[in-house]
Structures are given as structure tokens and as C-alpha cells.
Chains A and B, each alone.
Chain A
Amino acid sequence: QDCTFFTRKEILRLHGRYHEMAPNVVPMDYTKDPDVKLPMQLIINMPELKENPFKERIVESFSEDGEGSLSFNDFVDMFSVLSEMAPRELKAIYAFKIYDFNTDNFICKSDLEQTLNKLTREELTAEEITLVCEKVIEEADMDGDGKLGFSDFENMISKAPDFLSTFHIRI
């Protein structure tokens, strides 16, 4: 409870959900600290994540190995960060990780293009995409290195009115 924003009941419920996804792999008994991980494929099929265009990225950012398989700890961590009570700074850090597709600690043009394609299901033309990406970089890039570092991102997101209300998943 100290490590997450959840109460006991919610953690238990989360465990229930985790168990539900693979009843024969995940034990109910966690006393022996079993080293169980669920693959990404199972987790992104949760109804909470299913429709999310960034589901793979979300799961990858929270998995310990970066491959997308989550242990129960990571699983709880994920929903804790995405819960309503998590502060803006924490959410911003993980949002940055999620949108950083190639994990180079910068959101560069290719990341932006991928984000945009996922958001619009590739319905924009190539010129429009480049225009939007250029615009985004022009708006948010403070240090002028042509890509968004975390400080750029945080500065931008801290002013966004909708970030807190949209970047959360109720479980």
C-alpha cells in the first residue's frame, strides 16, 4: 500500500484480475514469491487496454525487461501510475516513456510520426503528418535540438488541461 496509490481491497482486486488472465500460471498463493510473468499478449487483451492505441507501449514501459511481460508487481505498478490519485509529475514521466517508441530517452520525429499514426489510424496524408510533427517540435522544443527531451515534454504536459483527466485508467 505504501508503494502504490491503491488500497488493500483494490490490490486484491488487481490480483484477481491478474490471476484471471492465466489461472493455471498465476498462483493464488504469493507467499513463496513465485517468479511469474505474463506475456504482453495476455495483458493487452484486457478490456481496459484493448482499445488503447498505445497498449503495447504502455505494457512495455512498465515491464522490467522492456519486452512487455509483466510480473504482478509491474502490473500493480502500471495501474497505480495510471490511477486517478497519481500526481501529474509521475504520470508525465511514464507518459514520456510511453510515447518514446524507440526508448532513446528523446521523443524524436519518428516517435511523433508513430504516435500520430496510432492516434489517427493512418488516415492523414504524409504531408499532413510531417506538418503536424514539425509543428509539435516547434511548439514544445525548448532547447532547439530538434527532438523533445523530458524537460520539454514535462513543460508542455504540465500546462495541458486534459492530461490528468485522460491519462488515467480506472480498474
Chain B
Amino acid sequence: KDNEEEESKEEESCSHQNRPSRRKNHQRENSSGEKAGVEGNRQRERGKKAPTKDQKESENKEKKTNKKGKDEENKQKTDRKNSSSSASSTSSDEESLSEEELAMLMEQVEQKKKLISTMRNKPWRMVKKLSVLREAQAFVEKFEGALGKGKGKKLYAYKMMMAKKWVKFKRDFDNFKTQCIPWEMKIKEVESHFGSSVASYFIFLRWMYGVNLVLFGLIFGLVIIPEVLMGMPYGSMPRKTVPRAEQATAMDFSVLWDFEGYIKYSALFYGYYNNQRTIGWLKYRLPMAYFMVGISVFGYSLMVVIRSMARNANESTADGDDKNFIFSWKMFTSWDYLIGNPETADNKFASITTSFKESIVDEQESNKDENIHLRRFLRVLANVLIICCLCGSGYLIYFVVKRSQTFSKMQNVGWYERNEVEIVMSLLGMFCPPLFETIAALENYHPRIGLKWQLGRIFALFLGNLYTFLLALMDDVNEKLAEEDLVKNITHWALLSYHNSSVENGSAATSPPLDPADVPRGPCWETTVGIEFVRLTVSDILVTYITILVGDFIRACFVRFVNYCWCWDLEAGFPSYAEFDISGNVLGLVFNQGMIWMGSFYAPGLVGINVLRLLTSMYFQCWAVMSSNVPHERVFKASKSNNFYMGLLLLILFLSLLPVAYTIMSLPPSFDCGPFSGKKRMYDVIQETIELDFPLFVAKIFSYVANPGLIIPAILLMVLAIYYLNAVAEAYQRANAELKKKMQMQREEEKNKRNNKASTNPMLQDLEDLFTPSTKRESAPKQAEDKKVESPNRTIPVEKQGKAAALDGSPMMGGRGAAFTPPPHVFMTQPPMLGIRMPYPGQLRPRGHLPGPVPGWGRGQ
């Protein structure tokens, strides 16, 4: 089963075959027609960039063989065969090498190494690659040892060995990593059916899953597990116990489903955590850990999102903004090589054909606007309608949240009343996008622009809804805070009265003998917020899955099976099959993630739920797509929108950071639940840790650093740095644009030149031929430079004519008698141009007497 071994052996044998006849091989290659063609081609292409590796290599080889003769090569061969003798032979080699040779050898070894590492980028045949690789490896292996000298030799050899081991390790690690990437085959399958755009959604989903897994690991490993293992057990204190009044129903499914009862008083939510400074025998500082994990969740997410954005931006440096290559790109890059499904291929063929036809039409008649006023009016109308929709949905949510607050005070409310907010939000999310789409039909935008608008509107809708929800929630929190004060007084009073009584009784009980279930307690607004977010997430999951099930699967079944007995063709006609809604799905994912980020501080278990959700939705959506969706009729491009989605994600991340930061910085934590209870603000935990656990000078440093006198200059510095970098980027951009323009000009001129040359002016061409030698003699490099910079414009030949006129008869031209025939023609045919182009023909004459014309004349214009 050792396939790899076999392969390596195969490679080995291959190289063995090749090595003895290396040079012959070379010749053979050159002689064989196609290979030579490839080689030549390649050399031509790369010749400018760098002297080709291959050439260098062969040169080296040549040198080597010249120097040491044929026996060297034989030695090399024998080296490989019986490695026992190799040590002695190399040592003898080493002695015979001089310093110079050593340096050269070193260089060669480096070159070979470089060759090995860049081998995969060479457009060679595999056989050649293999043979060259083997050769280079053998070379490196052989001479590596010879390079170190004296006592450094052993160290050198050791270093090389370690380097080799490291390479091996890295390779193994890479192998391992590729094995760890999940769902490769699943995504490939989807890709081959639906093209790269749909697959990009699944890749995004997978990426999201990875990010959430890390977040989950952070929260689970550093917060939940320590609390469960080392914290006080359930029932030991009020915050970890279900209140007496709720205990009867605490295990009912309907209660649990609302995340009340036992779930509310579990480690999933903020309220469960104790404010003990250290827990367990490890002295684990849980409140501190809780705070730091909360921050690092955001920190990590920000870092990951920005890093992947930067990577995407780097990859797409060649931004296809310029309109130079519309047809060429369509021709050479429109086929998606990933497609492996006949139906998708059909669609792709069709879409390519239509896109070609579209651009042909575009090309033929650039623009035909019929009624611009009507269109403008319609667009304004559409935007007004959409703003109305947005405001309406915002108000609806506000209204519903307000109502739910009154419901929450009443007893015996039904299921609908309790879940009204979530239901309304989900329904809005379901029905508004299609509504927007209908309205957008009024606008009659180009589909790609239309898609952007649509995405922006849905984004605004979601964002508005989310923020209304947050505002309403904030109202709720403030109410709860007021209520809490009341409860605080009550408990305070109860404790006080108890103490009084105990003092009277003369006993010294430290804690009241109240059952933890009976202690009066505050509303704990943090847990309420956490529960809201968890509910929202769960209802979102359900709505998504049910939409997929009903909207895609049932519809597909209906269309498929009822089609046999229906009066029109269902598959081609009205309901047909659903397409996979990429943008909607991506937006849903992004918003869901925003919710997770916002909620994870108050409900540490939320990330766990999300990981489950992503995992199931990967399988579920893959199945749904494969079973009940049809490929898109118009295939969108995936590559460009990638960073767009990432940008949305970043925006959401920032927006979800705001409310959390606000609550942390400015709201007082509940007095009887959560890890920060008893503190004025949540961030006090940091100060506390610094004061109590760190040496004094750290606290001092911290207080200095936190001083506004230092923070403000730091911010200023950052702003300045941003400004500077921005300016630099702008300058680069401008330079870029300039270069582009220049290239364009050059291109056009070259074309013009060629056209002229080919068709109209054989005489001019003659002239050019005639006078280029003289210009060359005058200032060849400068002229060449001019040609590059200014690009040879039409004036040059004319100027040359001028020069011809000026220099006519000057001794310089004497040598070129044969070329002298055309000038008379020039004087006959071109005088007017001469007069126009050369403003001072008279001046030139005197200069003609100088040893040579002033070199500056070529550039004068």
C-alpha cells in the first residue's frame, strides 16, 4: 500500500535513467521540435525579467564539467550508488577546493535550492521537472557537506540536517492541514453543479464555522468549563437556583423552550456566574477571565475579518476597472472550469452567448435613452416607497417590543404573545426583501447595480430592525435597573432586620438561614438581554430552515410530481424550481453572526448554539441545494463580491461592538447576579486585578497609560498616521492611473504607427530608415529613452525630416550615399508640414554647422 514509496521510487528510477545522459538529454530536448518551441517561448517571455534559471543552470553545469572533467560526473554517480564511499570522496574534493571555488559552489548550492523551491512554478513537462529536481537535490546533498570548513563543519552539517527535518515537518504538517479541511468534496460537488458563485457561499459558511469554533473554544474553555468544574455547584446560592415560585414548572418543555426555568439559571447565561474573585484550587480568576474573554472575542473576530479582507484585496490587485478588455475577458475568462454538470453547462453556454450579444449591442449603439424624466420619477418613487417600508418595519418592531414589555408583566400570556417580537422580526425579514425586489423593478437598473441596491436595502432593513430592537431592549434594561434598586432595598432591609434580630438573640450567624430559592432577587437585566438574543437566534434558525423546507423542498416536490397532471408546464412556467439565493443567504449569515457577537457577552452559551447551527446548516443547505434548486439563469461572479460580504461583516462587527461596549462602560451590573455583581461598573474588574494581583509599579504604569494626557496624543498620532498613509496611497493611485494612461497612449501610438507604416507612407518609412542611423550616432541612448518616455509620436519622423533638411549635405551623411536617393522627394512633397512643425527652420541651419546637432532637438517638442 505504500503508494508514495512507489512513487518516489518511480521518480528515482526516472531520474536515474536521465542522469547518465544528462547532456544528451539536453540536446535531445532541444532537437525535439515542440519542446524547443516551448522552451524558446518561455525564454522569450521571461527573458526580460531575469536570466532564466534553466540557462543559468546549464551554464553552471557547463562550467563544472569543464573544470572538473568527466570523472567528476562519474564520481557523482558513484556517490549516489554507494554512499559509504561518498564521505571520503567529498572530503578529498573539499581539500582540493580553493576559497574561490568554495564561494562559487556555495552560490550554486543556493541556486539549486532556490530552483527546488520554485520548481512547481515552472512550465515544464513533468519528466523534465522530475529529472531537474533529482539532479538539483543530488547536487545540493552532495556539496552541502563540503561547504562548511574546519570546526564549523559539524555545526553546518547539523544545521542542514535540522533544516531538512524542518522542511519535512512542514510538509507533513501541510499534509495534515489539508486533511483537516472539512467538506471539501461536498463543496466541490455543489461547485460543479452551480458554478463558483454558489460555492462561494458555502466556502464563506465554512470560514464562518471555523471562526465560530475558535470563539466557542475561547468561551467554553476559559469561562464555562472552569465555572462548571470549580465554581459553586447548582443550588448553593440564589443566583444559581430557580426561585421557589417557578420551581413547579421549571422543567416543563414549554418553559425550557422559552429559555426560562432551569436553562435560565444555567451556565449558558451571564447571571449564573459568581462574583468570587478566585475559584478552585487553581485560584482561577473567573470574573477577570470572563471580562477578558468577552473582549478577546471581539478582538479575535476583528483581526480575522480584517486579515482575510486584506488577503482578498491583495489577491485582486489587478482590479479590472478599465474598460479595455471587455471582449477579450469575455472570451478567455468567462468559462468556469469548475462546472461539471450538464445542466449548469447549458446555462453557462446560454449566459455566455447572451452576454456576448449584450455587449455587441452595447458596442453597436452606445446609449439610447428614451424617457429620462419618467425613469427619474420612477426611481425617486421607488426610493420613497422603500424608505416608507423601512420606517414602517422599524416602527412595527418598536411597537411590538413595547407591547411585549407589558405582556411580560402580565401573567398567563399565550405562546404568541411571548414570542411576538421574534415572529414579527422573522416575518419582516422574510417578506420585505421580495417586496423590495418588486419595487426595484420600477427602477430598471442594470442587474448588477440592481443587486447592489437590493443588498444595500436589505442590509438597511436588517440593521434598522436590529437597532430598533436594541433601543427597545435598552428601555427595558433601564426599567429593570429601576426595579432592581427597589429589590436591592428590600433585600438590604431583610438582611438588616435579620441581623437585628440575630444581634438581639445574641447568636453570631453570618448568613441568614434562608433557602437560596426564597431569597428575593433582582431582575438581572444581563440575563434578560442574553435570553432575548438566544431566542432571536433560535427563531431565526427555525425560520431559515422552515423557509428552505417549504420554499424550496415542498415547492420542488410539488413542481416535480404535480406536473404530470396539470394544465400548464409547471417546471418551465410559473412556480418552477427555486434558485439558490446567494445574497440573501450571505446577508442572513452575516446578521446572524452580528447577533452572536452582540449576545455572546451576556449569554456565553450562544456561540455553542451558533456552532451547532452552522454545522447543521452546512449539511442541510447542501442537501437542499442539491435536491431542490436549479442553477442560476444569470450566473453572478463570485470573485468581486467576496470582499463586499467581508465588508458587510466588518460593519456588522463594529455595529455590534457598540452596544456591548456601551453597556460595559456605562451601565451598572446587577447587584445579585453575574461575575461583576457588587461592582459599580464591569470594567472595575481590571482595576481590581491590577491593584490586588500585580506589583505596585504595574498599577502605576497602568495609571500613567490610562491617563488622558497620554491617550489623546496617542489617538492624535494614529490619526496622523492614517492621514499620512492615506495620502501615500492616494499618491500611488495617481501614479498608477498616470502609468495606465501612459501605457494606453503608447499602445495607441504604436498601433497608429504600425498602421501608417503598413499602409500609407512607404516614403516616410524610407525616411525613417534613412535617418535612424544618424540619430543613433548622435545620442543613441537618449533617443531610446525619448522613445520610451514620450512614445514615438507622429512628430518624430517629421522632425527627422527637418533634420534631414538641416543636415543635408553635412559631412555626417557622407558615408551613406546609397540612402540618399529619397530626400529630393521629401522636399517636393512635404514642405508645408515642415514649415508648420519646425517653427524656426532658420535657426536650425546655423546649428547644422556644429559638430553635430544638439541632442536636445529630439526632445524639443
Closest Cβ neighbor of A123 among chain B residues: B353
Query: What is the CA–CA distance of A50 and B343 in the complex, to the nearest angstrom?
Result: 12
Chain B residues, CB < 8 A from A142 = 747, 750
B365 within 8 A of A: no
Tell which of A10, A12, A64, A124 has the most Cβ of chain B within 10 Å.
Answer: A64
Question: Which of B120, B315, B352 sits near A120, CB closer than 8 Å?
Answer: B352
Query: Does A40 sit within 8 A of B, measured CB to CB?
Result: no
A144-B754, A161-B316 known; A11 and B175 CB under 8 Å?
no
CB atoms of B123 and A94 under 8 A apart: yes
The distance in angstroms between the C-alpha atoms of A162 and B640, with both chains bound, is 8
Residue B95 at the chain A interface, CB threshold 8 Å: no
B827 at the interface (CB under 8 A from A): no
Let me know if A124 and B754 touch, CB within 8 A: no
Partner of B196, one of A2, A12, A86, A166: A166
A165 pairs with B639, CB closer than 8 A: yes
> A166 near B335 (CB under 8 angstroms)?
yes
Are A136's CB and B331's CB within 8 A? Answer: yes
B179 close to A167 (CB less than 8 A): no
Bound Cα distance from A34 to B592, whole angstroms: 56
CB pair A8–B356 under 8 Å, yes or no, is no
Is B415 in the interface zone, CB < 8 Å from A? no
Interface contact A10-B178, CB-CB below 8 Å: yes
- Nearest CB of chain A from residue B741's CB, rounded to whole Å: 15
Contact between chains at B332 and A157 (CB < 8 Å):
yes
Least distance between B46 CB and chain A CB atoms (Å): 9
A126 to B759, CA, bound (A): 27
Closest Cβ of chain B to A132, distance in Å, is: 6
Which of B4-12, B271-279, B425-433, B794-802 forms contacts with chain A? B4-12
Chain A residues whose C-beta falls within 8 Å of the C-beta of B564 in the assembled complex: none
A43 within 8 A of partner (CB)? no
Contact of B349 among A28, A29, A48, A120 (CB under 8 A): A120
Chain A residues whose C-beta falls within 8 Å of the C-beta of B45 in the assembled complex: 93, 150-151, 154
Q: How far is the CA of A168 from the CA of B337 in the complex (A)?
A: 6
Is the Cβ of B120 less than 8 Å from the Cβ of A4?
Answer: yes
Interface residues of B in 734-783 (CB under 8 A from A): 747, 750-751, 754-755
Within 8 A of B (CB), among A75-100: 76-77, 80-82, 86-87, 89-90, 93-95, 99
Shortest beta-carbon distance, B758 to chain A, in Å?
8
Known A-B contacts A3-B130, A77-B125, A161-B640; A136 and B337 likewise in contact (beta carbons under 8 Å): no
| Interfacial residues of chain B within 304-328, with CB under 8 A of chain A in the complex | 315-316, 318-320, 322, 324-328
A95 and B345 CA atoms in complex are apart in Å by: 20
The A-contacting residues of B in range 704-755, CB under 8 angstroms, are 747, 750-751, 754-755
Q: Is B560 engaged at the interface, CB distance under 8 Å to the other chain?
A: no
Cα(A94)–Cα(B332), bound, Å: 12
Main secondary structure of the interface of B (DSSP, over half): helix
**A36 vs B793: C-alpha distance in the bound complex, in angstroms?**
58
Nearest chain B residue, comparing its CB with the CB of A34: B10
A12 to B116, CA, bound (A): 21
Name the CB-closest residue of B to A122: B353
Checking A2, A87, A165 against B119 with a beta-carbon cut-off of 8 angstroms, the contacting residue is A2
Tell me if A15 counts as interface (CB < 8 A to partner B): yes
Answer yes or no: B637 CB below 8 A from chain A CBs: yes
> How far does the alpha carbon of A39 sit from the alpha carbon of B851 in the complex, in Å?
72
Report which of B4, B119, B360 forms a contact with A8, defined as CB distance below 8 A. B4
Asked if A112 and B331 sit within 8 Å, CB to CB, the answer is: yes
Question: CA–CA, A104 to B331, complex, Å?
Answer: 19
Asked whether A161 lies within 8 Å of B196 as measured between CB atoms, the reply is no
Would B327 and A132 count as touching, CB distance under 8 A?
Answer: yes
**Closest beta carbon of chain A to B752's beta carbon, Å:** 9
The answer to whether A5 touches B335, judged by C-beta atoms less than 8 angstroms apart, is: no
Instruction: Classify the interface of chain A: helix, strand, loop or mixed.
Output: helix
Give the chain B neighbours of A139 by CB distance below 8 A.
324-328
In the assembly, what is the distance between CA of A51 and CA of B133, in Å?
35
* Surface stretch bound by A, among B34-42, B144-152, B416-424: B34-42
Bound Cα distance A63, B333 (Å): 23
Interface presence of A23 (CB below 8 A): no
A119 touches B126 (CB 8 A): no
Q: Which residues of A contact B331 (CB under 8 A)?
A: 112, 115-116, 119, 132, 136
Least CB distance, A81 to chain B, in whole angstroms: 8
List chain A residues, Cβ under 8 A from B184. Answer: 170
Kindly list chain A residues whose C-beta atoms are within 8 Å of the C-beta of B662. none
CB-defined contacts of B4 to chain A, threshold 8 Å: 8, 11-12
Are B340 and A50 in contact (CB-based, < 8 A)? yes
Chain A residues with Cβ under 8 A from B325's Cβ? 139-140, 156, 159-160
Contact: B334 with A162, CB < 8 Å?
yes
Q: Which of B13, B320, B357 contacts A32 (CB 8 A)?
A: B13
A158: chain B residues within 8 A (beta carbon):
318
Judged by a CB distance under 8 angstroms, whether B127 is at the interface is: yes
Does A24 count as interface, using CB distance less than 8 angstroms?
A: no
Closest to B9 in A: A31
Most chain A C-beta atoms within 10 Å of own C-beta, residue among B10, B196, B328, B349: B328
CA distance A130 to B373 in the complex (A): 38
Which of B125, B356, B638 contacts A124 (CB under 8 A)?
Answer: B356
Q: Does the CB pair B7–A124 fall under 8 Å?
A: no
| Contact (Cβ within 8 A) A29 B340 | no
CB of B329 within 8 Å of the partner chain? yes
User: A131 to chain B: closest CB distance in Å?
Assistant: 6
Q: Are B174 and A169 in contact (CB under 8 A)?
A: no
CB distance from B662 to the nearest CB of A (A): 40
Contacts of B14 in A (CB 8 A): 33
A31 to chain B, nearest CB (A): 4
For the complex, what is the distance from the CA of A151 to the CA of B750, rounded to whole Å?
15
Besides A7-B174, A103-B34, A135-B326, 8 new A-B residue pairs in contact (Cβ under 8 A), listed by A number: A28-B3, A33-B10, A95-B332, A140-B328, A143-B750, A163-B329, A165-B196, A169-B338
Please report B residues at the A interface, Cβ cutoff 8 Å: 3-4, 6-7, 9-10, 13-14, 17, 34, 37, 41-42, 44-45, 116-117, 119-123, 125-127, 129-130, 133, 171, 174-175, 178-179, 184, 188, 191-192, 196, 315-316, 318-320, 322, 324-329, 331-342, 344-345, 349, 352-353, 356-357, 360, 363, 637-640, 747, 750-751, 754-755
The 4 closest A-B pairs by CB, nearest first: A73-B126, A161-B320, A51-B345, A144-B754
Could you list which residues of chain A lie within 8 angstroms of chain B, going by C-beta atoms? 1-5, 7-12, 15, 28-33, 47-54, 64, 66, 71, 73-74, 76-77, 80-82, 86-87, 89-90, 93-95, 99, 103, 105, 112, 115-116, 119-121, 123-124, 128, 131-132, 135-136, 139-140, 142-144, 150-151, 153-154, 156-170
> Could you list 5 A-B pairs, sorted by A, with CB under 8 Å?
A49-B340, A54-B335, A151-B45, A161-B637, A163-B333
